[in-house]
Amino acid sequence: MCAATNLKWPDAFPLVLMSMRNTPNKKTGLSPHEIFMGRAMRLPAVPANALVNITDDMVLDYCKGLADVVRSFSYQVEATTLPPINDPGHKLVTGLPSRNT
């Protein structure tokens, strides 16, 4: 981190901590910050000029991929959903049974 940012260790330490707290665990997929706070870490917004290299084709490919993932999840949920019950369950008998002895 110090070599990449040309900062001294005391100045780079907060960045190192933020990076560690925002790095997801391979097993859980959650970062320490998400586990502790219950939400993703809020980071500064990306400057508008940082997205200069994104083309319409890239956005279209991303949207197609996202639609495929949503469709896949939809099929998985549909496969585990029980069909609706159209017929009555049990006949309900009210009152106490009579003793005809």
pTM given for the model: 0.40
> Is the per-residue pLDDT at 101 higher than 70?
no
Highest mean pLDDT among 4-8, 32-36, 45-49, 79-83: 32-36
Cα 3 off chain centre by:
33
Amino acid, single-letter form, for residue 57: D
Q: State the average pLDDT for the chain.
A: 77
pLDDT tens digit string along 40-83?
Answer: 888 777 665 555 566 677 777 888 888 888 888 887 777 777 77
Contact 31, 17 (CB under 8 A): no
Q: How confident is the model at residue 92 (pLDDT cuts 50, 70, 90)?
A: low
* Domain edges within the chain: 1-43, 50-81
- Classify the C-alpha dihedral 15-17-19-21 as positive or negative: negative
What's the pLDDT score for residue 64? Answer: 85
Maximum distance among all Cα pairs of the chain, rounded to whole angstroms: 98
Residue 20 or 6, more confident? 20
